[in-house]
Amino acid sequence: MSKLKNDTFLRALLRQSTEYTPVWMMRQAGRYLPEYLRTRTKARDFMGLCKNPDLATEATLQPLARFPLDAAILFSDILTIPDAMGLGLYFSTGEGPKFKRALHHEKEIRNLIVPDPNVHLRYVMDAVSQIRKALNNEVPLIGFAGSPFTLACYMVEGRSSSDFIRVKTMLYQRPELLHHILDVNARAVTAHLNAQIEAGAQAVMIFDSWGGALSHAAYHEFSLAYMKQIVGGLKREHDGKKVPCIVYTKGGGLWLESIAAIGCDAIGLDWTIDIGEARSLVGDKVALQGNLDPAVLFSNPDTIRTEVDKVLLSCGKGSGHVFNLGHGISQFTEPENAAAMVTAVHELSRKYHYSCG
């Protein structure tokens, strides 16, 4: 396998020196791009896009054609795993994801099985290999999955929720039942990420979008413990290269030291914590990824530049930082403002890196 032309992102995740701070954006392929909306009309719906490797490749490459990003992320969704478990994922316009067969009864929960990623999620692996070919070693490809707890939120609620009443009721009333779901999910996510690594993903990220809704104790028991199990079961090397792993808990700012201790290479930060403070909490144990408030991109290029510099300044000199938004880019973002962020990171970050010469 030939050499990556731009491996800045992978080096930063491994806390090796780089000339500038690499940058990508969570949800970088998506509805804020008019070309994505055009691609979406070629499929019946969003899942039709995910399940068609040609279209998934097209969508993955769109943000890279516009912005000089330092990494690509597989176009897919965290909910492909519960879909492969037979829960019947669908998206109704304006309402987000839903499941036809949410987990309402104990029998359904006891019958859950870990899907074979190379059979039931073959379309994801096909997309990964096709995207790798199309990227032609320009930048690395990130594979991903949801955390066991975040997946359980959707599987039990059956849809997005603002209060997670069902899953939290289960957590306190039938903890052993939730633990069963989480254990199946952790095994499914491990197998899914390892299959993505074998298909060509050069780094992986676990999205724990709802772990931050838990209490301190419940987060450790019901979310972090299962992410630790996954991290421990990942293939950390493929084709002679290290495959770094990023763990992102939205709202996880209070738990950074425990997250850093599970063996991941990097922690994704949302925008609520000061990145310099995060650095002093975790020391040089892990790299950090983040953490501009996505709402900054609703402003203008000058303000964006100022806000980017604040994050870089707080992070300080040295290696181990991947610039990103603190959560996914909003569908209402002007693409020009995303461009301004990427340019600002590349230009302003050079002064924070020690030159190798």
What are the percentages of helix, strand and coil residues in the chain, rounded to 5? 50, 15, 35
From candidates 12, 61, 79, 312, binder to ligand CP3 by CB under 6 A: 79
80 vs 319 by CB, closer to ligand CP3: 80
State yes or no: 77 annotated in a binding site. Answer: yes
CA–CA dist 113, 98 (Å, integer)? 20
Strands lying side by side in the sheet with 321-325: 72-73, 141-146, 203-208, 245-249, 266-268, 287-292, 321-325
Considering CB under 6 A, how many residues would be counted as binding ligand CP3?
22
236 is catalytic: no
If one asks whether residue 40 binds ligand CP3 (CB under 6 A), the answer comes out as yes
From candidates 16, 160, 215, 300, binder to ligand CP3 by CB under 6 A: 160
305 is catalytic: no
From candidates 22, 30, 211, 290, binder to ligand CP3 by CB under 6 A: 30
132 is catalytic: no
If one asks whether residue 180 binds ligand CP3 (CB under 6 A), the answer comes out as no
CA–CA dist 118, 342 (Å, integer)? 35
CA–CA dist 274, 279 (Å, integer)? 9
31 is catalytic: yes
DSSP bridge partners of 79:
none
State yes or no: 30 annotated in a binding site. Answer: yes
From candidates 19, 46, 220, 343, binder to ligand CP3 by CB under 6 A: 46
Q: How far is the CB of 148 from ligand CP3 (least distance, A)?
A: 13
From candidates 158, 233, 301, 328, binder to ligand CP3 by CB under 6 A: 328
Q: Which residues, 6+ apart, have CB-to-CB distance to 18 below 8 Å? A: 8, 11, 12, 319, 353
State yes or no: 66 annotated in a binding site. Answer: no
Identify residues 196-215 at the interface with ligand CP3 (CB under 6 A).
207, 209
Cα dihedral 158, 163, 168, 173 sign: negative
Q: Which residues, 6+ apart, have CB-to-CB distance to 70 below 8 Å? A: 6, 8, 9, 22, 23, 24, 139, 322
Q: How far is the CB of 95 from ligand CP3 (least distance, A)?
A: 8
E strand segments, the chain: 72-73, 89-92, 96-99, 141-146, 203-208, 237-238, 241-242, 245-249, 266-268, 287-292, 321-325
State yes or no: 327 annotated in a binding site. Answer: yes
From candidates 75, 99, 226, 255, binder to ligand CP3 by CB under 6 A: 75
- Three-state DSSP state, 6: coil
Q: How far is the CB of 280 from ligand CP3 (least distance, A)?
A: 26
Residues that constitute the known binding site: 27-31, 77, 154, 209, 327
Show which residues are catalytic: 27, 31, 40, 77, 154
Q: Which residues bind ligand CP3 (CB under 6 A)?
A: 26-31, 40, 46, 73, 75-79, 96-97, 144, 160, 207, 209, 250, 328
Residues that constitute the known binding site for substrate: 27-31, 77, 154, 209, 327
